[in-house]
Structure 1
């Protein structure tokens, strides 16, 4: 492949040298990328100014010092003005007379990656004819005739050269556009390193995939670009690539918290490997969604296993409670009565356990909306403080979270309250402290960390704490607290980690959730709202109008069918179950089949596993929802 690129470059240069006009291409930093032979000959430039990488400013300075631009006064000021004009990257055409008396036209065209292609044409014969025509034709008729013939011949040659030049410009622009479309417009970093691990090509997107890294990589060693820690982990894969082995792998960038998928492909020509091509993509959101899906499947499996026995187990507990009630009314001895009381309490704990199993295995809805973390944690503090002993201090702090982020605030509060109660139990009757902090991790995660001054996690707890029913509280614990927090975190696409503090020895629980900033609200539009419940329809209409939308209403698919042809209709929001024989999704599918292309969304109070909801075929907003949840749902699902 490297040989093919070299051959193509040589052929391209040879073709440019055949063009009669001078041509130069400078990159976005005004460094020479390509210059044909005529470019050097026309301006009599030294070799170092026509070598790729030569600075545009050096060429202007050389010509100005030689007097090619005439009297310019302050040369450095003149050079700066020309550089500033070039950096504006505006197309231009100009004509100027050089010191040798020749007149040239200069035509500049910006390239899409902010570079320049410029064509220089010697138009001295044309200017000579114009001068002669302005003279007295009766005195100069012979000269005019001579120059007219000379000019006609020159124009014919110029037309031919122009045709070739235009084709070359078209091909250069097309090649450049194709290359950039397949590199810089991709949500990935594409690069090549040589055998010394220095970058020879980069599409300048490393900083987007791995925040904090440089974007201009040409000439940098991979360790400089990636950082020593990340380079140390990827270096073995580089070594294998230079041995001829392609690979695809995933690594977590500890600096940014992002998960990166990397593909390495040797640049191989026969047995010779001159470099390695690198494709890097940020798959953090994909990994978060993957983790959430895995956890959802686990929960669905648990629900299937539980539902099969829950009914019979409930019946069995009911029978046992009935028998214990009969025993309690019999004239038994004191010891027997104690046994009856203990058995009854155990049965009631079994019923409570069933409720908790149902809550952990059941499918929980996410209710996300823009949330001010500081305000949310103030509400949590109000809930938590009454449950704490007087000698346990609770402190809550946030860092760099002044702006709202997208969260399921209720789930986060439940989880943090659970962790605070666990910490309280761990501290026991001793004085102690619990500290809850919230902070962003780059632009990838928001981390909630709960630390306490208790004895910390035992090795067994660190290994099994997320297992349902595992507890260190003896008979007082159900073993479902941490597993429920783990479940809520995973369903949201987050991470949960346990450790012990190296300073206090107490427990440390870190909950990381995807850091999502609210999207810009969708532009106001005309919304068709289809809802058969009057109270709900009025409530949703007020939410939509408060967002700036205009709303027209219908209670059935039949009523809505008469409204869909209104000019300016920009969104349809329908309930799943409507008055009449047709459901909301059936109506919307009919519109889609008929060619309506406005965004179509549904809302419902049906449970997630109800077939009518599961097969809706459109984005679903579960009821009830708040104004913020509706706004977030519309921003996520509607593209303006």
Structure 2
């Protein structure tokens, strides 16, 4: 059974009333917060002075007027002096004899949050024992008597000090617990290693940043906790920190394929503080942005050249066509004209390829069955292969749809297969493997048993116009594949296999597809006309719809309605929050689709692609259905 605040207060009050000593707590404004019944009984105070909010000044004035402190010439001055002493908030211990003949000890201690607590103890019996000791002083030496009195007073002071220390210890323990809880909630691993390289502190977040590592690492050597590969990557930066210089490094963890950033700060005592964060999504966004900027620069340079080159080709084609229509040309001249026309047309095709490579492109991810994509790819590729080349596949992906730009990915994989075919010649083997890498990547690898990549191909293979096929190659195939992977925040690697042959590894960010079931959809759009249009599309797909115009309004609805199955939000909304802010608040708890009319090179658009599927405006029911209800598209 949960205890209410009122019940807790009642239980606390009952407990305080059972204490033999009188107790009071005043806040920093000298107003009573709480006191127990012995306090009222000890000083015979009226109810108004033991009610929370009663002032310290009123209580002292009442006691002084009543003679609690003996004869007082100027009560107002006496009260002012006691108030000034109280405002100093200094720990103190004192003993005094009251007007009624009883002796009390008074021990006070300030509180960390302001105000102070005071405990009053009746020590009349203790004092009586001391008087008895004086009465028998003829049997004791003066030195023993003085020592006994000093020991008695010291014991009381020590008891007061112990009480203060225990309270301080409690406060420190609570503070440490709050600090540890805070560090354990951070999305980062915070740790400290001593001069010997052993952990002395950890917020236990290491396995959240680098899965597979132990949770409890205090006392472990850093190389044992991280593993040899990761330790080798961070060791140069760690050594610089041991040398007294802060250092930051980034590396890709070999076992999880996550990108990790580690910052090292010297502690001034031959130890090092370590802050490690997972920057995989940040890196994917950064890579996509870099590729977009490269495309922009290439487009700016090439567009001018392509314009002039296209004009020249147009003139060449026109002049050669006129020559071809002349009837008195020799057969050899006719062949030269045909060769010139073929070269000019090939130049035009090359210009189109360059335009496709450098021009603006929009990724259009849709729910895709990896197994079906692999089967379709095999169907398309096999007719292009000679009889002596076999094509095999290995699918290790979970049986669940993922978000991919199926058309562009198929083009890229076909390009890799055709490159492998050309490398194998008339006979050989091509193998396509598909696997899921630690909830981070979808990895495609295309391997052949040809001669493998040359040293120059490994170094320059993805550069535009680099080819090993002579006049038969355009040098744009791998560049196109590289452009797709980088635009999506992925990675492309070329390597030679240990058994011989070449391998191209293509990695794309892993994004789970949206559940293909009708449910309650939260539509977040600040334009009323667009909102009505999209609402009709969703309802036509069988969904129920609720609407919001801002990130704050959407957050409130998500908190109140746990049955929301999907959030469809514009990136730019009214108010300060954006669709990206809404994505942060959702934190993957509810499926999310973002929509926008921003250009594909806009920073918000690039960032959005890394956190959720993005629908480009304008879109129609077919586009929306392809993303959130792919089986309905197939049925049509």
Closer, same or farther: CA 512–606 of 1 in aligned 2, 3 Å: closer
Match of 2:383 in 1: 386
Shift of 1:486: 0.6
Shift of 1:435: 0.7
Q: State the distance in 2 between where 1:552 and 1:180 align.
A: 37
Shift of 1:354: 0.8
Residue 303 of structure 2 corresponds to residue 307 of structure 1: yes
Closer, same or farther: CA 230–551 of 1 in aligned 2, 3 Å: closer
Match of 1:27 in 2: none
Residue 282 of structure 2 corresponds to residue 286 of structure 1: yes
Q: SS in structure 2 opposite 1:184? A: helix
**TM-score scaled by structure 1?**
0.61
Residue 507 of structure 2 corresponds to residue 506 of structure 1: no
Shift of 1:340: 0.5
Q: SS in structure 2 opposite 1:292? A: helix
Residue 475 of structure 2 corresponds to residue 474 of structure 1: no
Closer, same or farther: CA 248–219 of 1 in aligned 2, 3 Å: same
Where do residues 196-235 of structure 1 align in structure 2 (5 Å cutoff)? 196-235=196-235
Alignment deviations for residues 37-71 of structure 1 (CA, whole Å, 9 cap, x no partner): xxxxxxxxxxxxxxxxxxxxxxxxxxxxxxxxxxx
Q: Which runs of 5+ in 2 are unaligned?
A: 1-18, 22-158, 584-591, 631-636
Shift of 1:170: 5.7
Structure 1 contact 531–575 (Cα < 8 Å) conserved: no
Shift of 1:497: 1.0
Match of 1:627 in 2: 625
Q: State the distance in 2 between where 1:292 and 1:510 align.
A: 18
Structure 1 contact 209–282 (Cα < 8 Å) conserved: yes
Residue 249 of structure 2 corresponds to residue 253 of structure 1: no
Shift of 1:365: 0.8
Residue 354 of structure 2 corresponds to residue 346 of structure 1: no
Residue 185 of structure 2 corresponds to residue 190 of structure 1: no
Q: State the distance in 1 between where 2:281 and 2:602 align.
A: 28
Residue 484 of structure 2 corresponds to residue 483 of structure 1: no
Match of 1:404 among 401, 406, 417: 401
Structure 1 contact 433–452 (Cα < 8 Å) conserved: yes
Where do residues 605-624 of structure 1 align in structure 2 (5 Å cutoff)? 608=600, 621-623=615-617, 624=619
Residue 294 of structure 2 corresponds to residue 298 of structure 1: yes
Q: State the distance in 1 between where 2:477 and 2:308 align.
A: 25
Q: State the distance in 1 between where 2:221 and 2:180 align.
A: 24
Structure 1 contact 396–437 (Cα < 8 Å) conserved: yes
Match of 2:320 among 314, 320, 324: 324
Structure 2 contact 538–545 (Cα < 8 Å) conserved: no
Alignment deviations for residues 206-263 of structure 1 (CA, whole Å, 9 cap, x no partner): 1111111111101111121011232234334333322222211112222222221111
Closer, same or farther: CA 378–173 of 1 in aligned 2, 3 Å: same
Structure 1 contact 572–598 (Cα < 8 Å) conserved: no
Structure 1 contact 544–551 (Cα < 8 Å) conserved: no
Shift of 1:284: 1.7
Closer, same or farther: CA 484–540 of 1 in aligned 2, 3 Å: farther
Where do residues 394-473 of structure 1 align in structure 2 (5 Å cutoff)? 394-428=391-425, 430-473=426-469
Shift of 1:543: 3.6
Match of 1:375 in 2: 372
Alignment deviations for residues 314-333 of structure 1 (CA, whole Å, 9 cap, x no partner): 22211111100111012211
Match of 1:173 in 2: 174
Q: State the distance in 1 between where 2:440 and 2:189 align.
A: 18
Alignment deviations for residues 285-324 of structure 1 (CA, whole Å, 9 cap, x no partner): 2122111111110001111112223223222211111100
Structure 1 contact 449–508 (Cα < 8 Å) conserved: yes
Residue 543 of structure 2 corresponds to residue 548 of structure 1: yes
Structure 1 contact 531–574 (Cα < 8 Å) conserved: no
**TM-score scaled by structure 2?**
0.61
Match of 2:152 in 1: none
User: How much is the aligned-residue C-alpha RMSD, in angstroms?
Assistant: 4.2
Match of 2:352 among 351, 355, 358: 355
**Which segment drifts farther, 376-385 or 216-225?**
376-385
Shift of 1:573: 7.1
Match of 1:6 in 2: none
Alignment deviations for residues 434-493 of structure 1 (CA, whole Å, 9 cap, x no partner): 111011222322210001122222222222211111112222211110110011111111
Query: Computing the radius of gyration over CA atoms, which structure comes out larger, 1 or 2?
Result: 2
Alignment deviations for residues 341-366 of structure 1 (CA, whole Å, 9 cap, x no partner): 00000000011011100000012111
Structure 2 contact 521–567 (Cα < 8 Å) conserved: no
Residue 513 of structure 2 corresponds to residue 515 of structure 1: no
Structure 2 contact 535–545 (Cα < 8 Å) conserved: no
Structure 1 contact 257–444 (Cα < 8 Å) conserved: yes
Structure 1 contact 191–279 (Cα < 8 Å) conserved: yes
Match of 1:35 in 2: none
Closer, same or farther: CA 172–304 of 1 in aligned 2, 3 Å: same
Structure 2 contact 252–260 (Cα < 8 Å) conserved: yes
Q: State the distance in 1 between where 2:547 and 2:494 align.
A: 52
Shift of 1:389: 2.2
**Which segment drifts farther, 520-529 or 491-500?**
520-529
